[in-house]
Structures are given as C-alpha cells and as structure tokens.
Amino acid sequence: MKKFISAAAAILTAVCCITSCSDTSNSSSEPSSSSRVRQKRVSSSKIDENIIGTWKNDFNGYRFQEDRNVSLVMDFSDTIHFTNDGKLIANEQEISGDMLTMENNTITAKAESEGLDEPAIILSLERTDGKNISDGLDGTYSMTDGAYKEVIASNFGLKPEQANVEVNVQGEKFDVTVIDYCLYETNDGKLELFSENMDYVDENANSVFYEYSIEGDTLTMTYETGDQEVYKKVEED
C-alpha cells in the first residue's frame, strides 16, 4: 500500500531521532484510531493462491498469508544493526557497555537523552527461536519495548501493546515484520487490504484497493492514482 511505503519512510525518519530526542517515551503520539470506533470485519471471499507468500523490494514488502492476514516486512539495516563483536549501531551511534545488556535471552538497549535523568530504553528484544543469545545473536526476536516499537506502532495507527513486531537478525541485517497487521481479499484482479486500524484514504476509511498482476516471481500492485508498487517473491525458511 502506498501509505505503507510512506509510513515505513516516516518510521526511518523518526528512528533517526530516537537516540537524540529529549524524551523518547513521548516520541510517538497516541494513534489517531484511538478516538474512532471502527467495526471489525473478516475476510471471507476466495483468495488467489498465487499471491500467498512473501513479496519484497529493496526496503519493504508484504507477507500474504494463508490465514488471510497480511504482515508488513521492512529492512531497517541501514538504521540499526548489530556488529560482529556484539555492539548495536543505532542512528550511526554505537551502543555498548552498560547501555546494552543481554540477560535471560533479552537484549535491552538504552541511550542518554537531554531532559531525562536516566537513559531511555530505545529497544528491547526477546529471543523467540529457542536458541541462546550466548551462542550468537543471529536469530528471531520479539520487539517488546522501547522507542523503536512506539514509533513503529504509531506510524501504523496502533498502540504499542497492539503491535506484534518480529525482528530477524542475520549478521548486520535487521529485518522488522509487523505481524498480522491487516486482512486481505482478492477478486478478479483486485486486491483489498483492510483493518479497523487503517486510515489510509481518510479518517473514516479502513481499507485500500489495488489492481494487481502476477507474472512469474513479480507482483505489481497499482493504486487508483496509477502509482505502482513492484515486488519480487522471496522464499523463506
């Protein structure tokens, strides 16, 4: 969705300020959807099985799932990643020592901020793949707390506790997925994405429509304005 691309870009802009903001605990405002009452609907029409899977470009993508949910995939590696010696680079700042703790398979990163008496949590990750951090950082995590999660949730109309954010770390790769963000339906070359949290057209709308086509491993999604998004299918473990 075009708004997804805009939101993802806004997230990167916002997280670039995280380690220097005066108060990261207030870095995200209350989602606009919190003041609206939306009717929740379910996906029921037949799904084009060819669209099921993960589709990505260089930065973002979609995971169209068999259970009719859509997860949003983003590559944050240019903004945040771990180094080979276990340090965290966030907004070109190195976080290590007392500011980066790894205990009980949980990683917590903090940063000093003007106006705060104590360092603020910018990132908290909990290992979810059954492996131990002591054996290496590569693996899958749940983003449980911190300014990064607040910014991600806010930009997609969610409260932090509503957002299920998964992180996959592979070397200096830092891939972020917002799990089960919305539902989808397909019908005769048209794709609808919808959720009571979405406000992509206006504050009262909760869905977005595309025309789409699949040729080989390429998915092209065309918005009503004529803007196109092009993604390649990727195989995941």
Q: Where is pLDDT greater, at 198 or 162? A: 162
CA atoms of 179 and 173, how far apart (whole Å): 18
Structure-block tokens of residue 201: 């057209």
Averaged confidence pLDDT in the chain = 83
Of 64-73, 148-157, 204-213, least confident by mean pLDDT is 204-213
Exposed, middle or buried by CB within 10 Å (0-12, 13-18, 19+), for 145? middle
DSSP β-bridge partners for residue 61 = 56, 73
State the pLDDT at residue 20: 53
Q: What is the DSSP letter of 33?
A: G
Q: How confident is the model at residue 163 (pLDDT cuts 50, 70, 90)?
A: very high
Q: Please name the helix (run of DSSP H) or strand (run of DSSP E) that holds residue 8, with its range, or none.
A: helix 2-15
Residue 112 confidence class, pLDDT cut points 50, 70, 90? confident
pTM: 0.84
Residue 123 has pLDDT above 80, yes or no: yes
Q: Within 10 Å of residue 6's Cβ, how many Cβ atoms?
A: 12
Residue among 182, 155, 183, 181 at smallest CA distance from 166: 181
Buried-state track 95-129, b at ≥16 Cβ within 10 A, e below 16: beeebbeeeebbbbbbbebeeeeeebbbbbbebee
Q: Which two tokens stand for residue 121?
A: 């949590």
**Angle (CA) 153 154 160, round 5°:** 45
pLDDT digits (tens, 9 = 90+) for 16-58: 555 555 344 444 444 444 444 455 666 667 899 999 999 999 8
Asked if 108 contacts 100 with a C-beta cutoff of 8 angstroms, the reply is yes
